[in-house]
Structure 1
Amino acid sequence: MDAANERRIQEAKTCIQKAEEHLKTSVLKMKFKPDYDSAAIEYGRAAVCYKNANDLNMACDMYIKASSAFSSSGNLFHCAKCKESAAMISRDMGDSENAMKYMEEAADCYAESGSSESSAMALDKAGKFLETVDPEKAISIYEKALMLVRQTDRSKMISDFSNRIARLNMKLGRYSEAIKAVEEEFDNCTETKTDSGRVGQLTCSLVLLHLAKEDSIAASKSLENCMRFLDVNSPEVALCNSLITVYESGDDDAFQELLRRPIMRNMDNEYLRLMKKLKAGGAESRVEHLQSGENREDYEEDLK
């Protein structure tokens, strides 16, 4: 260990000693209860020293001690911040289990302290940890975050979480749940008028998802509802009308040609993967094969 890190570790130990002194009580000194806030501050300083010395295990431990001390003093916001710091260090160490645990605990503390937005942001980080390893759990976390941001009137965050929930449900073949999430984002965009250009894209998304369920009637109803907020002559409306008509005709060549239009090719990857599986109503469906696990390697191919 080099001299600089030795100094940092020695400084951390000094901070720990100070923290422990703050937690002691003494009748002689007329100190009848621990000074949790001061102890938490010293543990936090020790965590920084250990982190700078590349001793991540000890840094994480110190952040947990700091969070516990803040919790004992009733300072839940700073308790949450220490939990979040422990989560990020756990992630850097490759300890995904503790990273998730601490981040969820941080989110709960933020919410309890009255900071719904900070709680949602912590859940956002937790969900990102899980998207690839446990998408079902990630959906659950994003739904929890969505409930929180609805209370804060943060329209962009509502759209972001709804979009992630939709994409993950698509990945799992849960098209009904994906439709609900897209509808939530659509309603948010139309109510707040914050992203009018997104409304057309979401209309295409809803039509594709209904066609993935082989329900062209529901696709038509969804398009009719969306047209209340779109120019009837918009390219998205024209394309979606054509998609439904050609799908019902069973002309798969014409259907595939429509799916290759620039509007469709500019959609998110999950939709591009879905379009690769879609066939017109009279053709053999590949969506069922996808949901049953067949052609999984083909499904994972990035089309962009």
Structure 2
Amino acid sequence: MFNLNFSAKIKEAEEHIRQGEKYMKTSFLKRKPDLDSAIDEFDKACTCYRVAEKYDQCRDLSLRLAELQIQKGTPFFAGKSYEQAAQMTLQLQDLPTAAKYYDRAGQLYAEGGYRDSGAILYERCAPQFQQIDRSISIDFYLKAARLAEQEEKSYQAADLYEKAAMQAIRMGNFPQTTELLETTTNILTKLERYDRINRVILYRILLKLFNEDSVAGRNIFDQACQNYPSFDQWEERNHIELLLDAFDQDDKDLISQRCQSPYFMAIEPEFVRLIKRWIRPTTNNVNQQQTTKSTTSSTSGTKPIQLDDDEDDLR
């Protein structure tokens, strides 16, 4: 019964397409195609193909439908058709092409004056491409952020810039991460959303330390204490200052000790992975004593910290 229903839907789709093609024809008395009627028929055919799980036919017809809607001057509905084409392409496991269709849909929403819809689409779709190409996710978050800024939704834009930064750090792109976090800081400062700034300041300081530039990290810390009372009074501020002090002293053992604070181990996972590289092996005194008793030679009881298996994979 299930397959019979699919067969019926496919036949229904084909009939809608035939009707649509008739509306597209011109003649001596009919100089222009009837776009409205053709679009309606093709749209119904797309629905039938989607229900029948004929994803390739639905995709192809959605793309044709989008072009007709552009020709008609309705970019919003053309965006809807491109979004449907992207969804069908995802079903066909062609993620790079799906990303292109989603991008085109977002552009059409913006062109039609529906920037909110474009921003929502980009933000919703960005996570889908993290595993195949994080640069696509970053691009989508940035486009969503810019559309949000155009709509004067600065707080939403700040959140999107930060999400893009978290993808950039996973790619190991420190310069882009730094730039995006600085943009986030500037927006939050203008909004006086100091409750959100503390975490962003921490990430900016850590990025400088990852780049072995503790002087720049200290400068960010000092400026934050001066410019943001919320940061200066933040209870976690001392953990950051103590870590900076350890870097100023170039004391690797002290750095290792202080970066293992529960606070640092509870932040954004990608930053934690990078922080763990500062952790030095610890000496197991009990094992060392037992080894000394059983052998005449002195051996080290050093046991390395067990890090995540995928620590080096910043993706």
CA distance in 1, matches of 2:262, 2:271: 13
1:159 shift after superposition: 2.6
In structure 2, stretches of 5+ residues that fail to align are 281-307
Q: Which residue of 2 aligns with 1:252?
A: 252
Contact 1:23-1:34 at 8 Å conserved across structures = yes
Q: Which residue of 2 aligns with 1:13?
A: 14
Q: Call closer, same or farther: CA 1:225–1:41 in 2, change over 3 Å.
A: farther
Contact 2:42-2:65 at 8 Å conserved across structures = yes
Contact 2:75-2:111 at 8 Å conserved across structures = yes
Task: Deviation per CA, 1:258-290: give whole Å up to 9, x if none.
Answer: 22223322211111111112369xxxxxxxxxx
Contact 2:259-2:279 at 8 Å conserved across structures = no
Secondary structure in 2 matching 1:2: helix
In structure 1, stretches of 5+ residues that fail to align are 281-294
Confirm whether residue 218 of structure 1 aligns to residue 216 of structure 2.
yes
Q: Call closer, same or farther: CA 1:179–1:114 in 2, change over 3 Å.
A: same
Q: Which residue of 1 aligns with 2:178?
A: 179
CA RMSD of aligned residues (A): 2.5
CA distance in 1, matches of 2:195, 2:103: 34
CA distance in 2, matches of 1:74, 1:20: 20
Q: Call closer, same or farther: CA 1:231–1:146 in 2, change over 3 Å.
A: closer
Q: Which residue of 2 aligns with 1:239?
A: 239
Task: Deviation per CA, 1:109-154: give whole Å up to 9, x if none.
Answer: 1222222222233333553343222223443443333333221122
Contact 1:22-1:36 at 8 Å conserved across structures = yes
**What TM-score, normalized by structure 2, do the two folds share?**
0.81
Q: Which residue of 2 aligns with 1:299?
A: 312
Q: Which residue of 2 aligns with 1:55?
A: 54
Amino acid at match of 2:239: L
Does 79-88 or 115-124 show the bigger shift? 115-124
1:211 shift after superposition: 0.6
Q: Which residue of 1 aligns with 2:107?
A: 108
Does 66-75 or 177-186 show the bigger shift? 177-186
Q: Which residue of 2 aligns with 1:32?
A: 31
Task: Deviation per CA, 1:69-89: give whole Å up to 9, x if none.
Answer: 101101111001100111011
Secondary structure in 1 matching 2:84: helix
Q: Which residue of 2 aligns with 1:144?
A: 143
Amino acid at match of 2:42: Y
Task: State the percentage of identical aligned residues.
Answer: 24
CA distance in 1, matches of 2:41, 2:253: 69
Q: Call closer, same or farther: CA 1:297–1:59 in 2, change over 3 Å.
A: same
After superposition, residues 19-168 of structure 1 pair within 5 angstroms as: 19-28=20-29, 31-168=30-167
Task: Deviation per CA, 1:240-273: give whole Å up to 9, x if none.
Answer: 2111111111223332332222332221111111
CA distance in 1, matches of 2:258, 2:44: 60
Does 77-86 or 134-143 show the bigger shift? 134-143
Secondary structure in 2 matching 1:51: helix
CA distance in 2, matches of 1:38, 1:258: 70
CA distance in 2, matches of 1:44, 1:257: 63
Secondary structure in 1 matching 2:32: coil
Amino acid at match of 2:208: H
Amino acid at match of 2:93: G
CA distance in 1, matches of 2:82, 2:136: 20
CA distance in 2, matches of 1:197, 1:233: 11
Task: Deviation per CA, 1:143-184: give whole Å up to 9, x if none.
Answer: 333333221122343133212321232223222221111122
Q: Which residue of 2 aligns with 1:284?
A: none
CA distance in 1, matches of 2:279, 2:213: 12
**What TM-score, normalized by structure 1, do the two folds share?**
0.84
Task: Deviation per CA, 1:37-74: give whole Å up to 9, x if none.
Answer: 33222212111111111111111112112111101101
